[in-house]
Amino acid sequence: MKAIVVTDPAAGTAGMKLVDRPESKAAINDVVVEVYAAGFVNTELEWPSTWADRAFRERTPSILGHELAGVVTALGYGTTGLSIGQRVVGLSDWHRDGTLAEYVAMEARNLAPLPGDVDFTVGASLPISGLTAWQGLFQHGRLQAGQSVLAHGAAGAVGSIVTQLAREAGAYVIGTGRAADRQRALDFGAHEFIELGSDRLEDVGGVDLVFDVIGGDIQKRSARLVRAGGTLVTVVGPTDVRPADGRTIDFVVEADRVQLSEIVQRVRDGRLRTNIGKVSSLDDAIATFRSTERRTGKTVIRVRP
C-alpha cells in the first residue's frame, strides 16, 4: 500500500516520503480500514508519539496521520461492534502507524459509524478537531449555558468547532485570531472578535472558560481573564500557568465513539459546520504539507479519489 512516512525527527517536512509499505494487519480487537480520507495536524512532527512507541522505543519509519474516514475491510480476533463494508470515522492511536496510507489497522473502539450521507472528506475533518473541542468544553471545562468562553484561534480547525459548540450550548463566545479571520470567526458564531495583533485582550474583562490553542504569552494573559471558579483549558501541552482563582486543564484528545457520533450527527443536522482548509490527493500531500501558503481550517488528504 502507499503511505507517507517519516524517519528523521530533525528533518521536518523535508523528511516525509511517499513509499510502498506492506498492508496493515488487524491485531486483536482491531479492524483494518480502507482509508478514503485522512486529516492532518501540522504539529504532528513535534509529537513524541510520532517517533516512539509507548515504551519510548524508536518506531520509525512511522506512518503519519491520526484521523480518517473510510470503510472496514477486515476484522481482528475478538473484534465486536463493527462489520466488514461499514463506513467509519475515527481517531487512530498516536503511537501506531497512522492514516496517511491506503489502509490502517486500528482498534475498533476508536471508530464510530459514518452515515452514508456524510462525505468521507467531511468525516475525516472531524475526529481530532471535533473531539478536542467537545472534550475541552464539556468534559474538562464543564461549560454551562450562560457562561462566557474566550475561544482562541476561532477561525482555525479546533477553534471554529469550539466556537460553534459553545454557542450552541448557550455560552457567550469571544473569538480571537488574526485580522483576516474576523469574519470567519463571526460566521462560525462568535458574538465578538478580538484581533490578537491589535485589540487589547485585557479589554475582554472576565470569562468563565478560556480555550487555548496558542500558548505562550497569549495563554498567560488569558489566564488573568479567568473568573473565580473558571477554567483555562489548553491543548498545546503541559503548563504552569494558572488563573488566580480557577483551574488549568491541559489534555490530549482521546477517541470516543459516543462523542464522535454526536459531532457527526450535528454536521448532518446542519448545527455544526466543519472547517476544511486544503484538500489534496495522497500523491500531492507532501507538497501540500510543505507549502508555506497560509491555510485556515483542517487539511484533508483524499486518499481514494
Binding mask 24-63 for ligand NAP (x = CB under 6 A): -----------------x-x--------------------
- Residue located via cell numbers 483542517: 298
- Contact status: 156 vs ligand NAP (CB under 6 A): yes
Please classify residue 73 by burial: count the beta carbons closer than 10 Å to its beta carbon, then call 0-12 exposed, 13-18 middle and 19+ buried.
middle
Interacting residues with ligand NAP between 158 and 177 (CB under 6 A)? 158-159, 177
Question: Is residue 137 near ligand NAP by the rule CB under 6 A?
Answer: no
Of residues 66 through 95, those in contact with ligand NAP by CB under 6 A are none
Q: Which is nearer to ligand NAP, 266 or 298 (CB)?
A: 298
Residue of 178, 191, 221, 224 interacting with ligand NAP (CB under 6 A): 178
Tell me: does residue 127 bind ligand NAP (CB under 6 A).
Answer: no
Q: Which of residues 241-280 bind ligand NAP (CB under 6 A)?
A: 252-253
Given the complex with ligand NAP, which of 33 and 126 has the nearer CB atom? 126
Which residues, listed in sequence order, are joined to residue 193 by a DSSP beta bridge? 175
Cα(152)–Cα(214) distance, rounded to whole angstroms? 7
Among 31, 151, 194, 196, binds ligand NAP (CB under 6 A): 196
128 binds ligand NAP (CB under 6 A): yes
Smallest distance from ligand NAP to CB 88, Å: 20
Helix 257-269, helix 127-134: angle, nearest 10: 100
Give least dist CB 194 to ligand NAP, A.
9
Tell me the number of residues near ligand NAP by CB under 6 A: 24
Residues at the interface with ligand NAP (CB under 6 A): 41, 43, 128-129, 132, 153, 155-159, 177-178, 181, 196, 213-214, 218, 235-236, 252-253, 294, 296
